[in-house]
Structure 1
Amino acid sequence: MRLKIDVELDYDIDGATDMLLLVQAAAMADQQLEYDNLLISSNEPLRAMPGADDVGVRCWALAENRFHATYQAVVIIDRDDVALASLGDTAPRLLPPETVPYLMPSRYCESDQFQGFLEQTFAGLRGGALAAALTEWVGDHLTYTSGSSTGATTALMTFANRQGVCRDYAHLLVALARAGGIPARCVSAYAPGVEPPDFHAVAELWLEGAWRLVDATGMGSARDLVRIAVGRDATDIAFMTTFGAATLNQQQIVVERIDQ
């Protein structure tokens, strides 16, 4: 699978503002960058550093009055969908050290609040069987509704409201998986067919020795998702963080399949 990615960000800035950008497709074993070009207006040289878990690139810029960025890439994805239910369980004590933080509650994923719900609804399920059941439950019980949540919406709030956008689906699935003893992290991604076209948020669950991409919205699949960044929740994977006021002029994300 080859995907072509085209991004434009245009904002008015109040004075001089530090900007942290996470928009570049991550170079990884299962997604190779055939072409990759990021252009950012900045009053100082850009400063790049590795993203969380060494996935992707964080890029610092200094914007004044106006911030404009374009990003183009062609990515080759070498990854198949995996039937989650076929994957086994790993006891927490046997997990790799780097996955253990993703068992814990975080700001937007209050996994400790879902223990009772899991015990009542998914009793007896572990590992991949639990992951598959949780993904199906989130997809069946949430309604995708643009504008139904804010930057302050947490997994517990989404669970109560039963609606949200992609980040809410990801937060809820991640929180439920952690409550069930499955390390889970949030992923910002590019994917074709996302409506409305935008940066997409999905989950990754650690099962049988690897991170498995899961999109509870059903809009994407493991074989056509391009990771940008990973982290505990939306705090770590936001495409742009401004340390000052910014007003949107235009934002466009286009992701197209070049071939299958």
Structure 2
Amino acid sequence: MKLSIRTELDYDLPSETDVLLQLEAAAIPEQTVEAAHIDLPPTDHFARVPGHDTIGERIWLRHQGNLKVTYTATVDVHRLTADCGALESVEPHLLPGETVEYLMPSRYCPSDEFQNLVDAEFGESGGGSRVMAIRDWIEDAIDYCPGSSTAFTGAMETYVSRQGVCRDFAHLMITLVRASGIPARFASVYGIGVQPQDFHAVAEVFLDNTWYLIDPTGMSTAQQMAKIGVGRDAADVSFLTSYGFAQLNAQQVWVEEA
């Protein structure tokens, strides 16, 4: 499937500020970036650096004043899909080294606090069947409520409140999957079907020696997503991180089938 993407950001930076952007679709084997363009104002500094796990790129800017960013792209998605419920997990001692960090608790995903819960709630399942049972449980138990969480909300708060937005759904799923001994990471994506349209967050789980994208909100599918970047949780893949005050004026994202 081909995706047509357009993103517009408008911020004011009252003083000289370092800004880290990650909003471009990644050029990786599972998706082909056929065309892309990013418009930025003249800045004091511009540099590209690899994203987490070398998936995608980040852009360092140093800027003062109005920062308007426009990004457009056409991305052809052709990633591997499977019935995840039928896949086996990899025993921890056989995991590739680069996946091990995704078993560990992180800032928004305190998986060590959920081990008793996953054993009680999903104890009869394992591997991919447990992953899909977790996905189904989250979709049924958690209400999608825009504005119900903040940038500081973690998986424990989402579990207690039973509401959140896409990043909260992703954090809770990642937490429960890690607590089950299966690597899981956070993926920032552009997705068809996301309402309201915005940057989207999903989980990516490691089964049968392959990473698989899973959307616990149920709004999009793996073939309808263009991956931007991955990380332990949202802190690793924010679309804009400002090392100084930044005033948001406007932000819009459009994603449709090309």
TM-score by length of 2: 0.98
The corresponding residue for 1:179 is: 179
Distance 1:5 1:244 in 2: 28
String of CA shifts for 1:113-147, please: whole Å, max 9, x gaps. Answer: 10111111111321101111011111110000001
Counterpart residue type for residue 163 of structure 1: Q
**What's 2:168 paired with?**
168
Please state if 1:41 is matched with 2:41: yes
Give 1:122's aligned residue: 122
- Residue 30 of structure 1 aligns to which amino acid in structure 2? E
Deviation at 1:42?
4.0
Q: By how many angstroms is 1:249 displaced?
A: 1.3
Structure 2 counterpart of 1:155: 155
Post-superposition offset of 1:94: 0.4
Task: Please identify, of 75-84 and 246-255, the stretch whose mean Cα deviation from structure 2 is larger.
Answer: 75-84
Question: Residues 31-66 of structure 1: CA distance to partner in whole angstroms, max 9, x if unpaired?
Answer: 000001112224224100110111000100112111
Once the two structures are TM-superposed, the CA of residue 80 in structure 1 deviates from its matched residue by: 5.1
What RMSD over aligned residues (CA atoms) do the two structures have, in Å? Answer: 0.9
**Range that drifts further, 67-76 or 40-49:** 40-49
Q: CA deviation at 1:256?
A: 0.9
The whole-number CA distance in structure 1 between the counterparts of 2:233 and 2:186 is: 5
Runs of 4+ off more than 6 Å: none
Is the Cα–Cα contact under 8 Å of residues 42 and 61 in structure 1 kept in the other structure? no
Query: Aligned equivalents of 1:56 and 1:3: distance in 2?
Result: 17
Q: What is the rounded CA distance, in whole Å, between the counterparts of 1:206 and 1:70 in structure 2?
A: 33
State the one-letter code of the partner of 1:118: V
1:28 and 2:28 equivalent? yes
Contact 1:52 1:231 in 2 (8 A): yes
Q: Superposed, which structure 2 residues align to 1:96-111 within 5 Å? A: 96-111=96-111
Unaligned runs of 5+ in 1: none
String of CA shifts for 1:57-78, please: whole Å, max 9, x gaps. 0100112111111101000001
Q: Percent identity?
A: 45
Look up the match of 2:247. Answer: 247
Aligned residues: 258
* Alignment TM-score, normalising by the size of structure 1: 0.97
- Alignment-derived partner of residue 2 in structure 1: 2
- Alpha-carbon contact 1:42-1:62 (below 8 Å) kept: no
Match of 2:207 in 1: 207
8 A Cα contact 2:89 2:206, kept in partner: no
Structure 2's unaligned 5+ residue stretches are none
Q: Secondary structure at the match of 1:46?
A: strand
Secondary structure at 1:169's aligned position in 2?
A: helix
Deviations 1:7-30 (A, max 9, x none): 110111121111100001001111
**Does the CA contact (< 8 Å) of 1:187 and 1:231 recur in 2?**
yes
